[in-house]
Structure 1
Amino acid sequence: MKVAKAEEGDLSSLYDLEYRAKEDDAWYSVYVVLDAAAQTMRVKYMCYPKVYEDVFSAGGLETEAQLAQLVRRFRPVSRQLQDHQCRQLAVGTTVCAAHATADNDLRFYDAVVEAVNRQAHSFPDGEEECLCTFLLSWEHGPGCGTLTFVNIGSICIVEPVFEVDHRISAFAILAKEKITSSKSISILDSHASASKGHQEMETGMVLKSLPWKSEDSEMISNYKQCKSQDEDIGPEPCSIDGLPTAGEHHFILIHNLEKDLTPSSIKKFIYKQTTVLPQAFIFPRVLSDPYARGAIVVDCRKKVQTIYEFLDNPNHLIVSSKGRPWVITGKASEGAFGTAIWNLIPMTPDDTKNKTTEEELEIVHSGTETYKRAKQLRDLFMEFIHHESQVCKKLVQEEKRIWESFQPA
């Protein structure tokens, strides 16, 4: 991907990761070589006409923020979309697409599909050819914030990150040990500690929630002996005090879900967006309910902070493929839903794979027509919840009044 020609010897299979380069902010297919003895990591770019490389030293990263940022710059190689797969490009889908630079070179950047102009496909020589065009809003790079029409040949599908590559995770452990060692030598003054507190809290969440592979278990064991990432450091930008808890578990309650949504889809979607892998539950419902209710559950305050900040972001809404917006109410509702949450016991992860996450859930961004519609639907649902709550309170008051009227004087 992203190259006109692989290096000599056809070693393209070695280039199994994508790296977002700091120099131009573009994504490149790379081959990563970890030298544990030298505590370095080489990142070799698949470029034409020659191979470029960056070398990172475990001792060259000064803060956890720098380490977390580096880890985020790697992901699985994006998959080139084929002509017959164009239906996968729904509005709101994040893709990796080619963008022309000032010197007429093509480089790859992330973008969001804002609109799709569907056209009937042609079949020259018996092979399907997609004639649709896609309006992209660029997320970074030279076109950041602008809109561009492209065809399917310029688009790749971003693969979800379910586990960090073992080379990246091993290097992160080495770098983390260096950073921790450096911190034990130098003592920061109180003002510097206060200003960096929130940043360390966020990056600690990223490092702690990395989905390490099993072959790194020995190194991970050493890594977990470092300073606990569960300490509360600095102020929290988004209050989670109203969220329900049960023992060590924190709950985010979600209303207005599609009735056929699976816990597996919720987990994969949240992990893809936040790098935190939660547990997820769908609550029982009556047949007459037009929607379902569920919960996202984690065992760490910082993890729930990360997820809640994503869900509570005013710049976007989460909707189903049918346009139904998620509604996050914060606190448990009265009645059966509020009671059921306390009886939940963490279960084995649900591996249902009957649908892909991209087919079921998407993010719609502020300023788009889909966002405006989703916001209207969400506001309508919030009005319904408020009305339901008032009716429930009135029911309780009337029941109390009736009971009291039959009590002996």
Structure 2
Amino acid sequence: MASKNPSSVALDFRSGDDAWYGVRGLVLRHDTLIVKYCDFPDDFDDHFHAGAFKTAAAVDDFAERFRRTSVQLQDYQCSRVIEGVRVCVSYKFSDFDIKFYDAIIEEANFKDHVFQNGEEVCTCDFVVFWEHGPNAGNKTSTSVENICLIQPRKELADPALINFLKMSREKVRMAACDSSLSAQNDDLLIKPGSVARSDGLPRDSSSIAKNDGLARDVGRNEIVHSTTDGKMKTALTKSSTSHVKTLGDN
């Protein structure tokens, strides 16, 4: 059964190319979360499986790839963009291919605004340090029309995402328990060359050999007295062979 995203909160998702894309829907189908993107057909959907995460930290990292949709910075809001602020900046590959990546404001050069057709126009420029994308690790200059404000992070109330994260964390927990149980069982296994003692602990086979040798030595020196036809016999035992001599016989 698949559950869809009825939430009215617009979401962005950082895909495998580290660019942020608008999400038009999240679908949970069994243990698979399907991410559907705005302006892209279903062929571009991403599928994520709850059992693919190895650690709880990996699940948390995945959750961080979702956030409320960033909003376009308006000309009159430029004063909000100061040094150290993380923003989402557009990168133009071509007229038909524009992607958005996170960047840090390194420098804000504020200038007087102008008015065109009665509307305020920002003429400021900003130096950004790109965290992702083709310019990752580099600084470039950009203007207000290329900058989006990242919304304060809040707990995302999307039911499909919430259930998927819960399922993923549970699978990680169960896998950790199974691994721990397997390790404990390995510790209880008797190593080759050893046998169990009466107290349940393993005993090395070398000690068995020593004790067996001692038993054989004792056997060689053991004198068994018996009476047969009134004659005393002495039995000298050796491992599996007995040599018997009758006392008084020559």
Normalised to the residue count of structure 2, the TM-score between the two structures is 0.63
Q: How many residues align?
A: 175
User: Aligned letter for 2:13?
Assistant: Y
1:265-284: CA deviation from partner (whole Å, max 9, x where unpaired): xxxxxxxxxxxxxxxxxxxx
Structure having the higher strand fraction is 2
- Report deviation, 1:117: 1.8
CA distance in 1, matches of 2:123, 2:147: 13
* Partner SS for 1:90: coil
1:310-360: CA deviation from partner (whole Å, max 9, x where unpaired): xxxxxxxxxxxxxxxxxxxxxxxxxxxxxxxxxxxxxxxxxxxxxxxxxxx
Specify the alignment match of 2:175 in structure 1.
Answer: 182
Return the match for 2:62 from 40, 59, 70. Answer: 70
8 Å contact from structure 2 (residues 88, 150) kept in 1: yes
Return the match for 2:15 from 7, 15, 21. Answer: 21
8 Å contact from structure 2 (residues 87, 147) kept in 1: yes
- Report deviation, 1:77: 0.6
User: Aligned letter for 2:52?
Assistant: G
1:85 aligns with 2:54: no
User: Aligned letter for 2:77?
Assistant: Q
Specify the alignment match of 1:398 in structure 2.
Answer: none
CA distance in 2, matches of 1:17, 1:189: 42
1:305-324 equivalent positions in 2, closer than 5 A = none
- Report deviation, 1:116: 1.6
* Structure 1 gap segments, 5+ residues each: 1-12, 191-409
CA distance in 1, matches of 2:179, 2:8: 40
Distance 1:180 1:32, change over 3 A: farther
Give the structure with higher Rg (CA).
Answer: 2
CA distance in 1, matches of 2:59, 2:94: 31
- Report deviation, 1:105: 2.9
Distance 1:62 1:102, change over 3 A: farther
Specify the alignment match of 1:31 in structure 2.
Answer: 24
- Report deviation, 1:93: 1.1
User: Aligned letter for 2:14?
Assistant: R
1:74-115: CA deviation from partner (whole Å, max 9, x where unpaired): 111111111111111111111000123489832111111111
- Report deviation, 1:170: 2.2
* Partner SS for 2:155: coil
CA distance in 2, matches of 1:125, 1:111: 32
8 Å contact from structure 2 (residues 22, 69) kept in 1: yes
1:114 aligns with 2:106: yes
Structure having the higher helix fraction is 1
* Partner SS for 1:128: strand
Normalised to the residue count of structure 1, the TM-score between the two structures is 0.40
8 Å contact from structure 2 (residues 9, 68) kept in 1: no
- Report deviation, 1:159: 0.7
1:47 aligns with 2:54: no
Return the match for 1:166 from 155, 158, 162. Answer: 158
User: Aligned letter for 1:181?
Assistant: M
* Structure 2 gap segments, 5+ residues each: 1-6, 185-250
Structure number with greater CO (CA < 8 Å, separation at least 6) is 2
1:97 aligns with 2:79: no
User: Aligned letter for 1:83?
Assistant: D
* Partner SS for 2:100: strand
